[in-house]
Amino acid sequence: MTSDGLGPEDVIKQVLEKFKAGVSNEDLILLTPNLDPKCRENAINSLLSSGKIEMLSTTGSNSFTLRLCTGTKLAGASPEEQLVYSLIEESGNMGIWIRDIRDKSGLAQTQMRRVLKVLEQKKIVKSVKAVGTTKKCYMLSDLEADSSLTGGTFFSDQQLDTQFIQTLVQVCVQMLLSKRKAAEANYPTDFFTARENSFVKISEVANYIKRAGVSRIPLVESDVESILEVAVLDGKAEKRPGFFGQEGSYRAAKVVNSRTMTNLMNTVPCMHCPLINECNIGHVISPENCEHMETWCNSGGTV
């Protein structure tokens, strides 16, 4: 009993309450100078046995860290099971790698695997294999793994579902194309208004996909934005970024028929000019003083 009436266990708990991340054994000795070493040791063992504190191993050292147990208490769990569970619980939906469990718990490999097996059999925790690696991590069984582990919406069995992505791209592009055609038909002589009305917000595209029922899984707006970005990279859509917190918008890219492009190129006078090899800017024969080029430009490229 200390001079202020606190028992050894209370003194240790009082110290640990000030250091939520835990205190090393060496620091605890310095922070409790009035405790007899044997009393301190007995108090630590008693707190560990009762599940009020837990002991974490320090990687690369023979030292250990003590901290208060603040997570869920498992009924009928051994101290080792409670420790491993606490480590998994605090990792959230990011999970904790099996190597980190071993390093932090200080348990031997076989003992740790036995504890994990017990917790899995009780359906308290589950293992998740991250995309692009064979390493397993563990998290609570009722949590949905973070997309950085699973690869996100467009991964199936750890493989990128390219067919699903292309289907969604086609649906999005068709929707944007329909919107652009309608805008251009409604404002045939007003280019700027037609352009403004041909852009579609991400939320509108997301709602369209939801109504169409083409996705077997729910898509959030960030998923739809990823699909629209694929369409942009494919040259099928163009993007207008949002400003001051507003969401961005997209519209279908102008599709030029290959036959139309060929016909247009054939009207360029240079394609049929016998002097094309002698023509150059600043020369006697040049585009600046070419009467055929001037006529073609004045006709809007239709001559």
Q: Where are the alpha helices (H) located in the chain, listed in sequence order?
A: 8-18, 25-31, 37-49, 79-90, 98-105, 109-121, 147-150, 162-186, 191-198, 202-212, 221-233, 258-267, 291-298
DSSP 218: -
Lookup: tokens for 2: 């200390």
Domains and CATH numbers, the chain: 8-146 (1.10.10.10), 159-252 (1.10.10.10), 263-298 (no CATH)
**Residue partners of 123: CB distance under 8 A and separation at least 6:** 141
303 residues of the chain, pLDDT tens digit each:
555 667 888 888 888 888 888 888 889 888 988 888 898 889 888 988 887 888 887 666 677 888 888 778 888 888 888 889 989 998 898 889 988 998 888 888 999 999 999 999 999 999 888 776 777 889 998 888 777 676 667 776 667 778 888 889 999 999 999 999 999 999 988 988 999 999 999 999 999 999 888 887 888 898 899 899 999 998 899 998 877 777 889 999 876 555 544 555 667 777 778 877 878 877 888 877 888 777 776 665 555
The Cα 61–Cα 57 span in angstroms is 8
Residue owning tokens 């718990």: 105
Structure tokens at 53: 């504190």
C-alpha to C-alpha distance for 46 and 21, rounded to whole angstroms? 20
Distance in angstroms (rounded) separating the CA atoms of residues 181 and 251: 10
Report which secondary-structure segment, H or E, holds 124. Answer: none
The whole-model pTM stands at: 0.51
Tell me which H or E stretch contains 123.
none
Cα–Cα distance measured from residue 287 to residue 123, given in angstroms and rounded to the nearest whole number: 79
SS3 154: coil
Residue 269 CA to residue 273 CA, distance in Å, equals: 6
In the numeric block, the tokens 């097996």 are attached to 117
Helix (H) or strand (E) holding 222: helix 221-233
Q: Which of 238, 237, 251 is nearest to 183 (CA)?
A: 251
Residue 71 per-residue DSSP state: S
